Amino acid sequence: MCGIVGYIGTEQAAPIILDGLARLEYRGYDSAGIAVYNGQDIQITKSVGRLKVLEELTHGGATMPGCIGIGHTRWATHGAPSQVNAHPHFNKEITVAVVHNGIIENYIQLRNRLSKRGYEFVSETDTEVVAHMLDYYYTGDPLETIAKVLHRIEGSYALGVIFASHPDELFAARKDSPLIVGQKENGCFIASDVPAILRYTRKVYYMENQEIVRLKKDSLNFYNFDEEEISKESVTIEWDANAAEKGGYEHFMLKEMYEQPKTVTDTLLPRFKDNKIEIEELGMTDEEMKEIKKIHIVACGSAYHAGMTGKYVLEGLARIPVEIDLASEFRYRNPILEEGAMVMVISQSGETADTLAALRESQERGFKVLGIVNVVGSSIAREADNVMYTWAGPEIAVATTKAYSAQLIALYLLAMKFAEVRGTVSAEVLEEMKEDLKKLPDQIEMLLNNKERIQRFANRYIGAKDVFFIGRGIDYAISLEGSLKLKEISYIHSEAYAAGELKHGTISLIEEGTLVTAVATQQDLFAKTVSNIVEVKARGAFVLAVTNEGNTEIEKAADYVIYLPQTNSYFTNSLAIIPLQLFGYYVAVGKGCDVDKPRNLAKSVTVE
Ligand code: F6R
């Protein structure tokens, strides 16, 4: 979960690399470093902390002249964030420098072997072995040397490499960690993700597993690990460069919350043909949809919470039993997948290591996997048998908002499609649901525009110690996500409970003034949730309730009420999440937290 950038061309490399790294800081930001060949030597500068420290240290790259270089922004895995552990890593004579995203799993054996041969290690990282191996196996031919090394390392990697002996060539290789290559006139780039290079070029090549690329200022050559040249097609990136920038908002998170009406529309509309739901990318015939016996949803974090909503919606509408698993559990619990089961993995980044492993585990057992993915060309998107994209565009804030909303929409569409084909919901009801779906973007916009009330309320709670979120059914699923949003960015301890579960222990934590957020959008469960509100009120809780317009009787029990516009009961999470996201955001802003980059977190969790 680090970001790498490299450049070779006719311009100064360091400012381009620093600029690219700044756009990849969501991948890691505990330290950063850059290596540039200055015409004589490879010069390396590293620093601990945010990228701006490195920018200041190098005067925006001015102290590092040269037209070829590599850079890295780190999220520590092996070895604490420190200057020596920051990348690039290098050999003793600094004739080779390496940046790496991923994990070298056999680095301890390799390190021991290299130590016996006299190599000295200065860092605690797994990556440093790669630099010394490139030195040890160096044949004078960089491609051959890299291939030799790659045959000996195990694990995941996107690597960028420069050799002082070949100052007009930059090399990169990929296995199980994302890597793209960009090209423009008189310059080529490598990067972990597209936003890093979007202001320079839209012509991009996605590196596949076990591929190496040689970049020169005006040419690219791709190879497999056997050093055989391969041909690759470029793609033209269509996104607006501004989509990867903050666009006037104080934080990426706020901007991304405001993009939700568009995200929902973009995810919905391509699947409506003449008012019929068509999900071509499912790659399933009606007959196959009818025969699904069970669905396994596997994901992590917020994507798991979206999956939890998906379980209620798929079971409720299509009457298909759904099992939901955290990917980190699924992959190791020897799951029982029976004939007729369908596996869905959900991931914004498409790079989450556990989710990817769950996908592979399912495929190894002979099951096709549907990926609900946001990042086009990501590992999960490429490896899943079928992909349903969420079309949320690049999400930069570490805490997901718009991608989560898009995942909900994808799951509603799937549930409705299955329900239609299986005849579990009448055509009439489905038509009404479609109309409700189409209203969601405007309703979300309306809730976003009423943010002041939430903002004022949030300001009262910036000193809170513990916050509880409760709800039943679908409202429990949204409580999980509301609670995660609050805690991950504001660092306030918060937990979500199925409202009926409180009295089995947790209610003892409620004391005078404890904030309890109660979500009560399910009419058939409304009275039950109100009873739970009364119970916590009796123990001194202050209750913020989120419910549907018209449920004014809740005001007798709750202290502060947020009303949601009317929609189908299966879609209420798409509305209820808006005030909960805003609440978490404004509490975090009020506390002065680094909203877009909460401590200890990274956007893309590419290690388990
Ligand atoms: C929380 C958040 C994470 C991710 C999780 C899975 O705001 O963003 O919990 O949802 O790390 O990531 P993806 O969806 O990229 O697989």
379 lines ligand 1 (CB under 6 A): no
Kindly state the tokens that stand for 396.
């930069």
- Asked if the model's pLDDT at residue 501 lies above 80, the reply is yes
Distance 556 CA to ligand 1 centre (A): 37
Say which residue, 379 or 69, is predicted with more confidence.
69
Backbone angles phi, psi at 336, to 5 degrees: -90, 110
Mean pLDDT of the chain: 94
What pLDDT shows up at residue 244?
Answer: 59
Provide the pLDDT confidence category of residue 228 given band limits of 50, 70 and 90: very high
Q: Which residues are catalytic?
A: 2, 603
pLDDT in tens, 248-294: 688 999 999 999 999 999 999 989 988 999 999 999 999 999 999 99
Mean pLDDT of 393-410: 94
The model's pLDDT over 298-313, given as tens digits with 9 standing for 90+, comes to 999 999 999 999 999 9
Nearest to 568 by CA among 445, 418, 402, 425: 425
Distance CA 135, CA 150 (A): 13
> CA–CA separation, 510 vs 295, rounded Å?
37
Distance in Å, CA 348 to ligand 1 centroid: 7
User: Are 18 and 54 spatial neighbours (Cβ–Cβ below 8 Å)?
Assistant: yes
Q: Which atom of ligand 1 is nearest to the CA of 301?
A: 9
Q: How far is ligand 1, taken at its centre, from the CA of residue 596, in Å?
A: 14
Please tell me if the CB atom of residue 480 comes closer than 6 angstroms to any atom of ligand 1: no
Q: Are 464 and 516 in contact (CB under 8 A)?
A: no
Question: 113: buried, middle or exposed (CB in 10 Å: 19+, 13-18, 0-12)?
Answer: middle
Measure the N-to-C terminal CA separation of the chain; round to a whole number of Å.
10
Residue 79: the pLDDT is: 80
Say if ligand 1 is within 6 A of residue 400 CB.
Answer: yes
Looking at residue 324, its pLDDT comes to 98
Please tell me if the CB atom of residue 357 comes closer than 6 angstroms to any atom of ligand 1. no
Report DSSP letters for 95-110, one per residue.
Answer: -EEEEEEEEETTHHHH
pLDDT beyond 70 at 242: no
Residue 301 Cα to ligand 1 middle (Å): 5
Query: Residue 96 pLDDT more than 80?
Result: yes
For the Cβ of 347 lying below 6 angstroms from any atom of ligand 1, the answer is yes
Give the distance (Å) from ligand 1 centre to CA of residue 302.
5
Q: What is the mean pLDDT of residues 132-154?
A: 98
371 C-beta closer than 6 A to ligand 1: no
Q: Is the CB of 301 under 6 A from ligand 1?
A: yes
Residues 164-184: tens digit of each pLDDT: 999 999 999 999 888 999 999
3-class SS of residue 180: strand
Task: Give the pLDDT band (50/70/90) at residue 608.
Answer: confident
CA distance 280 to 278: 6
Site to probe by mutation for ligand 1, drawn from 400, 489, 606 as the one with most ligand atoms within 8 Å of Cβ, is: 400
